[in-house]
Amino acid sequence: MIKKTILSGIQPSGNLCIGNYLGAIKQWEQMQDDYESIFLVVDMHSITTKQLPADLRSRCLSFVAQYIACGIDPNKSNIIIQSHIPQHAELMWVLSCFTYQGELSRMTQYKSKSKNLKNINAGLFTYPILMAADILLYQADLVPVGSDQKQHLELCRDIALRFNNKFSETFKIPEPFIPKNGARIMSLQNPTDKMSKSDVNLNSIISLLDEPNIVRKKINRSVTDSGSKVVYNQKDKPGLSNLINIYKSLSNESADYIENRYKGKMYSDFKSDLSDLIIDTLSPIKLEYDYLIKNKDYLLKILKDGTDYGYKKSQNTISKVYRKIGFVPRVR
């Protein structure tokens, strides 16, 4: 039986956090046996904002090690650094010629990210085309998406259909994959905003590499709400409900079970137990990460395997695209 291909990726910026783990990486780990899995470190996307070169290189390897420490098995999945496959940029250029300016200007992420910038670079504007190239290059069947990326996937589908209609069937039309147990984790300091690994206020996130004492401090300082009862109500108690969502996702317990467990208890009791739960989850990840990050040769071997796989798969696509649009075949 041929497995469907699932593809996802994360920008190597900021600090991978428990929001990334519960909303994405934990789901990836559970998909590995059922899909041909491709997980990218999308470093080309990250340079739409200012990066220090040495830090970017370091974070790319760190993210690869964290993927593996979180359960992404290189024997089951393909881990690829985006810039290692030149066909990403090649396909992006072709797709940009089949994408309309009006479509890009309607992207809500572009509007929000460019709102406070004095100098808006073209990469920020054309970012969704590179994302489309990432997906279509590997003929992905499924793409896990959150609400913030759904519009980009819709554009990717439109571009693929436009190209297919003009030149005959070339790209698979990707479908969104919504994990059954996916969690949207919010900021610990502003629970109306999604937890972001790039948040400048590190008290807003739980990093996957935070030490236990740091986890406790961040949870203790996290925003809750007025009152003292541990009650799940996202409208009236968004801060507390966010913490309950983290607890639910890590324990697989229901909100009702959690409410009953802490009936008559204080917020401090709940926060203490939540801290223990987070630490129990992250400690083995941190231990494995500390081992992996010291084994650079192993990480580079994983990346070489991913590059070899990605190059072959993406070259099949780009060759087909170049032939259909009329480019002269490369002499080998």
Instruction: Verify whether residue 197 is a known catalytic residue.
Output: yes
The encoded tokens of residue 21 equal 């783990």
Instruction: Verify whether residue 113 is a known catalytic residue.
Output: yes
The encoded tokens of residue 166 equal 């003009």
Distance CA 321, CA 203 (A): 47
Distance of CA 143 to the CA centre of its chain: 11
- The three-state secondary structure class of 36 is strand
CB 68 within 8 A of CB 109: no
* Among candidate residues 233, 278, 226, 232, the one with its CA nearest the CA of residue 256: 232
Instruction: Verify whether residue 194 is a known catalytic residue.
Output: yes
258, containing H or E segment: helix 255-261
Distance CA 54, CA 175 (A): 36
Annotated catalytic residue, options 194, 217, 265, 320: 194
- The three-state secondary structure class of 237 is coil
What sign does the CA torsion over 89, 90, 92, 93 have? positive
Distance CA 183, CA 251 (A): 13
* Among candidate residues 246, 198, 200, the one with its CA nearest the CA of residue 222: 246
Annotated catalytic residue, options 197, 248, 271, 286: 197
Annotated catalytic residue, options 4, 113, 150, 217: 113
List the strands of the sheet with 36-41, edge to edge: 77-81, 36-41, 5-10, 142-144, 175-177
Distance of CA 196 to the CA centre of its chain: 11
The encoded tokens of residue 163 equal 């190209």
Angle between helices 122-137 and 87-96 (to 10 degrees): 110
* Among candidate residues 240, 306, 330, 317, the one with its CA nearest the CA of residue 61: 306
CB 41 within 8 A of CB 66: no
Give the residue numbers marked as catalytic: 113, 194, 197
